Structure 1
Amino acid sequence: MLVDALTLQLGYNATLVAIGAALLGISAGVTGTFLFLRKRALVSDAISHATLPGVCLAFILMATLGGDGRNLAGLMLGSAVSAWLGLVCVQVISHKTRLAEDAAIGAVLSVFFGFGVVLLTVIQTMSSGRQAGLDGLLLGSTAGMLYADALIIAAGGAITLALVLLLRRPMTLVAFDPQYATSIGIDPRRVDMMTMGLVMAVTVVGLKIVGLILIVALLIIPPVTARFWTEKSANVVLIAGAIGGVSGYVGAAISASAPALPTGPIIVLTCFALFVLSLFLAPERGVLAAFLRHRRFQKRVHLRQGLLALAQQQPVYEPLTRRLLAREGLARPDGVPTEAGKARAAKALRDERRWQVVHRLPEYEGAASLYDGLRDIETVLTSDQISEIDATIGGPKGVTA
């Protein structure tokens, strides 16, 4: 059944939900990238939790007026108003008082969410409005989703993504250099508000699929994951969008094949699985790559120290050092140097003396700053400079440069 869901064979509604979830994931990943780069990821948490009172009040209002309290368009409108009010509260508290932004976020998050929980309790006592299943908006659920709901989510995700791409340049400038952005006529505060508005839009659109609590994960995990794979901001945006899209699509497909599973947690867990894979397997920043770099560095250190020990006719006791010397053909297993080992050892010792001269002479100050104990001096100085240093230190002439 999962294969059918992944290949869009479970029906029109399930297909539309999967496409909508993918679009939501792409827009969330791309939008979250600018929050991540701006170092304001916690704001998304405040926005998402601030939507709960709006959802509840919209439900109460629609039910009181005799309508369907679970109408998705009405719930999204209510959540948008509530989220915007929460965002304004954060901005006012952080700019008009001495409280830092994180303190303002904590206050708004807790107060709004607490108020929403109280309203949820009130809703459960109402005799009308089809309140059953309303708590599914907390964690997301596509079970029983109507065609109109899926269409709203798909369209909302696509529109939000288009707006993010349209505003990508000013948001990137403000994220990296707000002073420069100001100098060319871009108002960072206005751009920040637009970014928060896009985050709010993603939160509102993802209300039914991911839920108002877990949408934060879909905003933050994709850009954090993308950062493992690239150093360029443009590539982070693309990769984050791809990760969010794949997470949304696969998570929605899994949820469609197992309706008892809540959609939001499945999407988030799929996203987290991609994060874990990136954490370990990314070629530059991954744990495995870091481990291999450390091992290579460790081997270079042991080999260098072993050569210096051989040059000074000192015994080599470290097993790893002896294995490395033997593997390179520089020493026998018992630690006795070969002819090639003697030549390399003499070169290593002479290089150490050359570096000592480099550190003493002021004209080589730039070169001295590059010394790390392992770098070959030939990669820093020219042959003429090395010859001048050799003339200073004297010693045997048979040691190759």
Structure 2
Amino acid sequence: MLDLINSLLFDYTVRTVAMGAAVLGIVAGALGTFALLRRQSLLGDAMSHAALPGVLLAFMLTGSKAPVVLVLGAAVAGVLGTFLLLSITRFSRVKEDAALGIILSVFFGFGLVLLTYLQRNPTAAQAGLNSYLFGQAATLLTRDVVTMAAFGGGALLLLALFWKEFKLLSFDRDFGSSLGYPMTVLDMLLTTLLVIGIVIGLQAVGVVLMSALVVAPAAAARQWTDRLGVMMIVASAFGALAGVAGAFISSLGAGLSTGPVVVLVVSVIVLLSLLFGASRGLVWSWLQQQRHRRTLRTQSVLADLYGLTTAQHPDPRHPHNFELLRAMNRYQGGVRHSLRALESAGLVRETTPGEWALTDAGVARAREEQISKEGVK
């Protein structure tokens, strides 16, 4: 922990990379929440690949590698890819998944052609452009982080301004249309914001891995909550955590690229969330199922004991043999545990070894449950 704090405070490279990765994680996590909920997770992959020719064309037209110029070029290419995607799905019979594959392959192939052309005609100015393919976070400068924060902050500001409209778009588009909202325009705006969130991370993570940062934090956050606002905050926190942790881990060993390490860290976060998420985690779901099963077993034993007393004896507190209860209960393995749980709750008591009877509270509870079941029927 001391080494981490020392590196973040005094090591320029680690501090810059960590800040850039954190900004990227926050923006990608927030915008990726809507992509995940709208079942457009592959859109991030397609748009990140589509942005590559925009970066290269921006350099070829301007001769500048300024972050603002390259980000704007990537954004224009991403928006163009989005427009073509919406046009293909709207005016043809091609489904969205096929359209995504077309946009991804065509734009990425065009980008590779441009990259090959630049590599065959090397100049000092074009050095480092191939880092946009797989990312090279170690080359981030303060101006790059400022550019990322400016574009990402603008995207988050628009997200906050159109929060209600984007929620309506994500959950009930038809209802929004009936209210008079321009849902197609909102769809294009939200997709454009997602493109901005993608292109600002190309230098750090690259077109190949950028889609992971869009989907993974949101997928992890979904396991912890069912509320959109909380999910977006948690996704941003997971993205920032993965960025900072990935930057620090990659700084510990030579040859470790920050982008892949960040993706590995966020993958671990997703795995832990899938297992232990409070809302949908597999472990908590299993524990909840076991708790429900125990509840059903105890209710069944209580109902059987009450049924025996009312059918055979005028006194509902008459004791009955444990073996008889076990033979009656369909949950054969949990009768003894259920009786002990009912005893702890004051609903039954063991009159003699192996003989169990309802208490006054148990009789009242059994009657309530019987009346409730009859009402449901």
- TM over 0.5, yes or no? yes
Asked whether the equivalents of residues 59 and 129 of structure 1 are also in contact (C-alpha less than 8 Å), the reply is no
Structure 2 gaps of 5+ residues are 309-319
| Deviations 1:275-332 (CA, angstroms, capped at 9, x unpaired) | 2232222223222221111111111222233345555473516233223324544587
2:285 paired with 1:298: no
Residue pairs, 1:326-337, within 5 angstroms: 326=340, 328-329=342-343, 330=348, 336-337=354-355
Question: Equivalences for 1:1-400 in 2 at 5 Å?
Answer: 3-4=4-5, 7-11=8-12, 13-61=13-61, 67=63, 70-129=65-124, 133-258=128-253, 260-310=255-305, 311-312=307-308, 314-316=324-326, 318-326=332-340, 328-329=342-343, 330=348, 336-340=354-358, 344=362, 348=366, 354=371, 358=374, 367-368=375-376
Q: CA deviation at 1:187?
A: 0.5
The answer as to whether partners of 2:217 and 2:236 remain within 8 angstroms in 1 is yes
- Higher helix share goes to which structure? 2
Equivalent pair of 2:38/2:170 in contact (CA under 8 Å): yes
Displacement of 1:192? 0.8
Shift of 1:264: 1.8
User: Mean Cα displacement is larger for which, 138-147 or 97-106?
Assistant: 138-147
Q: Which moved more, 1:146-155 or 1:182-191?
A: 146-155
1:261 shift after superposition: 1.7
SS at match of 1:229: coil
State the secondary structure of the residue aligned to 2:202. coil
| Structure 2 CA distance for partners of 1:256 and 1:163, relative to 1, 3 Å | farther
Report how far residue 74 of structure 1 moved.
Answer: 3.6
Deviations 1:368-398 (A, max 9, x none): 16xxxxxxxxxxxxxxxxxxxxxxxxxxxxx
Deviation at 1:28, TM superposition (A): 1.3
Instruction: State the Cα distance separating 1:175 from its structure 2 match.
Output: 1.6
Paired residue secondary structure (1:248): helix
CA distance in 1, matches of 2:80, 2:24: 23
8 A Cα contact 1:142 1:256, kept in partner: no
* Residue aligned with 1:199, SS: helix
Mapped partners of 2:155, 2:254: distance in 1: 27
| TM score, norm. by length of structure 2 | 0.81
Secondary structure of 1:209's match? helix
Aligned-pair CA distance for 1:274: 2.3
Please report the RMSD computed on the Cα atoms of aligned residues, expressed in angstroms: 3.2
The AA in structure 2 aligned to 1:10 is D
1:211-236 per-residue CA deviation (whole Å, 9 max, x = no partner) reads 22222222222222222222222222
For 2:262 and 2:112, the matched residues in 1 are separated by 24
Contact 2:137 2:259 in 1 (8 A): no
Q: Deviations over 1:11-58 (max 9, x none)?
A: 2x5423322322221111111222223332222222111112223334
For residues 175 and 48 of structure 2, the distance between their equivalents in structure 1, rounded to whole angstroms, comes to 31
SS in 2 for 1:260: coil
Cα offset, 1:125, TM superposition: 2.4
1:229 and 1:282 in contact (8 A); partners too: yes
**Count of residue pairs brought into register by the alignment:** 353
Q: Is residue 298–residue 342 contact of structure 2 (8 Å, CA) maintained in 1?
A: no
